[in-house]
């Protein structure tokens, strides 16, 4: 009985602290997921503040793509984007 309890405790300690999927790694991944979700929410908020839903839905002039390219510096696959930053002294 005692051997099985000790074995179980050692196995749980290994899983929680020493395995590849330990508690520390889970915490780091959860923080990263939270940060990415906040980034998605901020980006959606920027888009919603710039254009109304109806304007984006009736996007005949490519407003969404234009906004994404100019404001968010997004690019198409296989395309290079150069951002020019002016520095003042």
Per-domain residue ranges of the chain: 22-89
- Give the pLDDT score at 50: 66
- Give the pLDDT score at 77: 75
- Please give the average per-residue pLDDT across 41-45, as a whole number: 82
Report the share of the chain in percent with pLDDT over 70: 75
C-alpha span between 35 and 50 (Å, rounded) = 23
C-alpha span between 85 and 64 (Å, rounded) = 23
DSSP one-letter code for 58: T
- Please give the average per-residue pLDDT across 63-82, as a whole number: 71
- Please give the average per-residue pLDDT across 16-26, as a whole number: 82
Q: Is the pLDDT of residue 86 over 70?
A: yes
Contacts of 46 (CB under 8 A, 6+ apart): 71, 72
C-alpha span between 44 and 50 (Å, rounded) = 10
Q: Is the pLDDT of residue 33 over 80?
A: yes
Q: What is the phi/psi pair of residue 20, to 5°?
A: -65, -30
Q: Is the pLDDT of residue 38 over 80?
A: yes
């Amino acid at each position: 009985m005692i051997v099985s309890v000790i074995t179980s405790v050692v196995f749980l300690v290994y899983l929680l602290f020493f395995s590849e999927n330990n508690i520390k790694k889970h915490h780091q991944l959860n923080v990263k997921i939270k940060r990415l979700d906040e980034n998605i929410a901020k980006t959606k908020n920027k888009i919603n503040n710039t254009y109304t839903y109806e304007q984006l839905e009736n996007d005949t002039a490519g407003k969404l793509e234009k906004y994404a390219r100019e404001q968010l510096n997004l690019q198409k696959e296989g395309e290079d984007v150069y951002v020019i930053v002016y520095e003042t002294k």
